[in-house]
A and B are shown apart, each in its own frame.
Chain A
Amino acid sequence: NAGVTQTPKFQVLKTGQSMTLQCAQDMNHEYMSWYRQDPGMGLRLIHYSVGAGITDQGEVPNGYNVSRSTTEDFPLRLLSAAPSQTSVYFCASRTGGGELFFGEGSRLTVL
């Protein structure tokens, strides 16, 4: 049982480049989300989705886009990378009881 799978695990970008972080879950959870984790800031919600075709913004959505075409997949797109987006990104899916299950993380460095 894979749970939540994120790719890539590591990525280095130059300022202005775009990229997509991939996330897939095999638990048939309707709710999926993206967090970023920065030292001293804790986990902050970027975007979330409550089902295919439905997405909404979290606390720190600027500079990121999401879409949800299937229950399984929830990619996060960085439109024009900035050094402030250097962070560790976590995708998570959630049970009906509210428990989040996280992926292993994607460490992004923007130069």
Chain B
Amino acid sequence: EDQVTQSPEALRLQEGESSSLNCSYTVSGLRGLFWYRQDPGKGPEFLFTLYSAGEEKEKERLKATLTKKESFLHITAPKPEDSATYLCAVRGGGTSYGKLTFGQGTILTVHP
């Protein structure tokens, strides 16, 4: 069974204080690792897909990286508008029709 564990559960940063969120996973035949951002009262919004170890993707102040066992979402010089819950999910090759397994998320709060 695919599993995803995110840490920390919550992270408080000062504006400009860079940090990283962790997503550890076990999956049979990784077919994609996904990062989403979720604002309160909204649906998750797609950020990145990573397919293989060593791959990196960037978007504004966010950079996602992938190893064989975990992914990191690096946040450089965050701003208050980056405050949200960040979700990680994996798609395994062993699941029918590519079901995504989600972690419980990291709640990020950036103080001005």
Contacts and interface: CB of A to CB of B under 8 A. Distances in A.
Contacts of A100: 34, 36, 44, 46, 89, 100
B96 A56 contact: yes
Given A102-B44, A104-B43, A48 B34 contact: no
Contact of B105 (A42, A90, A102): A42
A34 to B, nearest CB: 12
Q: Size class of A's contact patch?
A: 20 to 34
Contact of A98 (B32, B43, B44, B102): B32
Contacts of B36: 100
Contacts of B100: 45, 98, 100
Contacts of B104: 40-42
Contact of B98 (A41, A42, A56, A98): A98
Contacts of B42: 104-105
B83 interface: no
Contacts of B49: 97-99
Interface of B: 31-32, 34, 36, 41-46, 49, 87, 89, 91, 96-100, 102-105
19 contacts: A31-B97, A40-B104, A41-B104, A42-B104, A43-B44, A44-B102, A56-B96, A90-B43, A90-B44, A92-B43, A97-B32, A98-B49, A98-B91, A98-B98, A99-B34, A100-B44, A100-B89, A102-B43, A105-B43
